[in-house]
Amino acid sequence: MLGIGRTGWIEKNTPECGPLDALVKPLAVSPCTSDIHTVWEGAIGDRHDMILGHEAVGEVVSVGSLVRDFKPGDRVLVPAITPDWGSLEAEAGFSMHSGGMLAGWKFSNFKDGVFAECFMVNEADANLALLPDGVDIASAVMLSDMVPTGFHGAELARVQYGESVCVIGIGPVGLMSVAASALRGAGRIFAVGSRPRCVDAAKQYGATDIINYRDGSISEQIAALTGGRGVDKVIVAGGDNDTFIDAVKICAPGGIIGNVNYLGSGDYVKIPRVEWGCGMGHKTIAGGLMPGGRLRMERLVSLLKYGRLDTSILLTHRFDGFSHIEDALFLMRDKPRDLIKPVVMIESD
């Protein structure tokens, strides 16, 4: 990112690596919708000559003197969020906000990202995850951000066995919320989206009902399908501030709305007063940035390793070679209708 609205290639020095950190070279990377918000919407403010990217699988090049568990040559999953684990926020259980709200998101935000020949991972022992042999590299890149974010939506909504869930937005993040809801034992799962490729994927991940938000209001469609009752849990992974109007309407009393969507404009989120029970409806709204951390990442890896989750369904576009990172980024910006996620395999350069 050269500046807001401008991208290009730049030369930089190899990043500094402290005693707890590791230098990693990418084996595969993927651009995120957040990279698009960052460059073309100026979502995190002006940034100059900042390397983008926060989704990668890589190989450790070197480690700091205090790193115990990783060594050069190890294949690793690199999470999008790499907190400071010694912070008070981490002690409180919210490591993603270490150093300030959302500040656990460092790559392509406060420091250079992973679209580079080499990048630095802070606190390697706490933030990296070993990738066992036999786990496909391209599939594993989806564990950096798409899987933990989508899964966090289901965690925020506290999806339980047999509950009805509505996932609003079925891009890669929402699709992983559908998959997480199914893994957590949800009964009926409504998926809201319009693109046929995403709709097909949602069905594969366990959606029982599809709602096309372009065909009319989400809340009216859900009301018609549930006899006016609504759903136990709502996960928001797409839409905008107005989407909360529908989310609150379809959430049954006592329900929870888990938001992982980035709300990029407007000063306020809209909560409809009457449907929120005039403030007394016991409808909880929770929103969160994905948690990082080695423990969580290695658990997610095990879902791939033991065949519980197939992220290859997300990978609609594949590029071979470092130089194609730019093509993948532009593809993510332009979002052709058949795109779910692109992946760039670096090693084949």
How many whole angstroms separate alpha carbon 71 and alpha carbon 109?
A: 26
For tokens 């990048």, the residue is 119
Q: Does 32 bind Zn ion (CB under 5 A)?
A: yes
Q: What residues between 187 and 226 interact with ligand NDP by CB under 6 A?
A: 192-195, 198, 213
Quick one: 110 or 213, whose CB is closer to ligand NDP? Answer: 213
Under DSSP, is residue 314 helix (H, G, I), strand (E, B) or coil?
Answer: helix
Shortest CB 64 distance to ligand NDP, Å: 27
Quick one: 32 or 39, whose CB is closer to Zn ion? Answer: 32
How many whole angstroms separate alpha carbon 155 and alpha carbon 286?
A: 10
Q: Does 103 bind ligand NDP (CB under 6 A)?
A: no
Near ligand NDP by CB under 6 A: residue from 24, 290, 301, 315: 290
* CA 135, 310, 341, 291 torsion-angle sign: negative
Shortest CB 289 distance to ligand NDP, Å: 4
Near ligand NDP by CB under 6 A: residue from 58, 172, 255, 292: 172
Q: What residues between 146 and 165 interact with ligand NDP by CB under 6 A?
A: 149
**Contacts of residue 79, Cβ cutoff 8 Å, sequence gap at least 6:** 127, 129, 143, 144, 145, 148, 292, 293, 297
Stretch binding Zn ion (CB under 5 A), from 12-20, 74-82, 115-123, 182-190? 74-82
* CA 100, 102, 105, 108 torsion-angle sign: negative
Task: Tell me the sheet residues that pair with 11.
Answer: none
Q: Which does 192 bind (CB under 5 to 8 A by kind): ligand NDP, Zn ion, none?
A: ligand NDP
How many CB atoms neighbour CB 175 within 10 A? 31
Q: What residues between 7 and 46 interact with ligand NDP by CB under 6 A?
A: 32-34, 37
Quick one: 84 or 145, whose CB is closer to Zn ion? Answer: 145
Chain residues that interact with Zn ion, rule: CB under 5 A: 32, 34, 80, 145
